[in-house]
Structure 1
């Protein structure tokens, strides 16, 4: 029989405790553990959820990895993608690739009697992933692209629609500057859908339409494209899969990660890691201090028991183990209730989106949470293990207690 564990259970489950101070201290210890669990759960789940949500919004709009021509300059007008060495079949066959779509972009201006807005017209083809884009739609639908003739439908952002007082089925004139011509080109479009990504750099300028319009403005051939959006099955695999995809893009093309396209957003996302680390450390310090306080109070309270155990021949190591186990058992109700409350709050936010944010500042309109079941398990195990190690040094106080004096202690 494991005597330290058996004795720890007996005193932990004993109801014969008339010391009000120890009850208060134990309650404070459990409360600190519960609060530490709740705050840590919310911090980690919201931090990881926010990072994932923002990355997905960037990547699902414009591809996790973009393939472009090296002739492309800093303007939004696409250069023709070089087909030499471009092996799309091998890219599509990659096990982590979920899909691809062709596009071409050109800069222009939308204008009506209310206002005007500089826009980037992103022409997409018949391989456009309508289903992936649906999560951004707040009204209408994406234009149906067949690449036969010129489809006049476009999907615009809520920001552009608001600036120009547009709604679904309204018409709008776009003005483009064609290479080598002083006379601008005018195109009339019909709004088929309105989207919102909550990412300002996207919502302020991009509209989605037929790739044939972009080809005509950029003097491209019927089969030319300005780039390819590559979608991966997991947004977190971008860095891992980029070298594999680069091998099949050709020497005159290059690849660009979605995370490199908007570096200011990525820098902002990385702040989450620092915030999570700081808050977790603070919570651990608070929990450890309170648990050490609980241990010391328990040692003082049960000085007679310690003296009796020493008189009966129990070594200091065994007695220290008893009190460390006892203290960790006291933590368990705090761990349980902390997890129940923390997971409950996260579930409410996950399913009902109670807490909302200003997307202009946070790039998301609802606080997202990561409901990965490993998060509470890792946090709970981490707090228990760290607390157990932190109790070893203060438990040496037991070795200073004299059996003779402690038995007389009242």
Structure 2
């Protein structure tokens, strides 16, 4: 019978058959060329391999799954760092949009700000208004992006639309899994950057001189 594991490297080279049949086919007699072990904690496979290597000694050697797929994991780490940089740049572009929007609003609302100041509004309250407005825009945008991104990840994980060349990536479809720690980190970073982006325009609004602003009104 044929089966597919989803990993090209295994599907193209691996077969399952009984030990005696394999020994007869390869003329090994009672010998074996290797023993594969399954451990309870896959993250300790390298340490377990070292212990076995010390016990057996030369000419036997061990190789764990991390070592066998070292190049693949290195590529995935590099890919994750690249995606993080791209995502950070996108967030920074959004922050610049918040800054420019608030600066434009301060320029348009200079007269209104001056009137509020003459009515007794403090610089702190004026600054708080614009910080709240910028944060509101940032939080709403972050939540909309979170919902749409999570929905897209769910669709990709369920229906596996994106196909990959198996001879390059060792898998046939793009694996998608939602990592809540990454999501929380991204959301917090977006909100913090949004808050930082509001500081300068809000400070600029709080420094409006009501006398100068209303001189020609």
State the TM-score, normalized to the length of structure 2: 0.80
What SS class does the counterpart of residue 364 from structure 1 fall into?
coil
Question: Taking structure 1 as reference, are residues 244 and 361 closer, same or farther at Cα in structure 2, changes over 3 Å only?
Answer: closer
Residues 366 and 195 (structure 1), Cα distance of their counterparts in 2 relative to 1, 3 Å cut: closer
Residue 277 (structure 1) aligned with residue 84 (structure 2):
yes
Structure 1 unmatched ranges of 5 or more: 1-139, 141-192
Report the equivalent of 1:211.
19
Q: Aligned partners of 1:325, 1:409: CA distance in 2, in Å?
A: 30
Task: State whether residues 138 and 194 of structure 2, in contact with CA within 8 Å, keep that contact through their aligned partners in structure 1.
Answer: no
The answer for the alignment partner of 2:204 in structure 1 is: 397
Q: How does 1:236-385 map to 2 (within 5 A)?
A: 237-238=43-44, 242-243=46-47, 246-247=50-51, 250-252=55-57, 253-385=60-192
Contact 1:246 1:254 in 2 (8 A): no
Give CA-to-partner distance per residue, 1:305-337, whole Å, 9 cap, x none. Answer: 322333344443442232111111133332332
Q: SS of the residue aligned with 2:176?
A: coil
CA distance in 2 between counterparts of 1:270 and 1:330 reads 32
* In structure 1, C-alpha distance between the alignment counterparts of 2:6 and 2:161, rounded to whole Å: 19
The alignment covers a number of residue pairs equal to: 212
Larger helix fraction of residues: 2
**Structure-2 separation of matches of 1:244 and 1:311:** 74
Alignment of 1:25-36 (within 5 A): none
2:172 partner SS:
coil
Matched, 1:226 2:38: no
**Considering only aligned residues, what root-mean-square deviation do their CA atoms show, in Å?**
2.8
Which consecutive unaligned segments of at least 5 residues does structure 2 have?
Answer: none
Between the aligned partners of 1:408 and 1:369, the Cα distance in structure 2 is 60
Structure 1 residue 214, shift from structure 2 partner: 4.3
Question: Who is 1:199 aligned against?
Answer: 8
CA contact (8 A) 2:123 2:207 kept: no
Alpha-carbon contact 1:198-1:364 (below 8 Å) kept: yes
When Rg is computed on C-alpha atoms for both structures, the one with the higher figure is 1
Query: Is the CA contact 2:7–2:172 (under 8 Å) kept in the aligned structure 1?
Result: yes
Deviations 1:284-322 (Å, cap 9, x if unpaired)? 221111111121122123223322333344443442232
Q: Deviations over 1:356-392 (max 9, x none)?
A: 2222233222222112344433322210111112322
**Greater per-residue strand proportion:** 1
Q: Distance in 2 between matches of 1:373 and 1:387?
A: 21
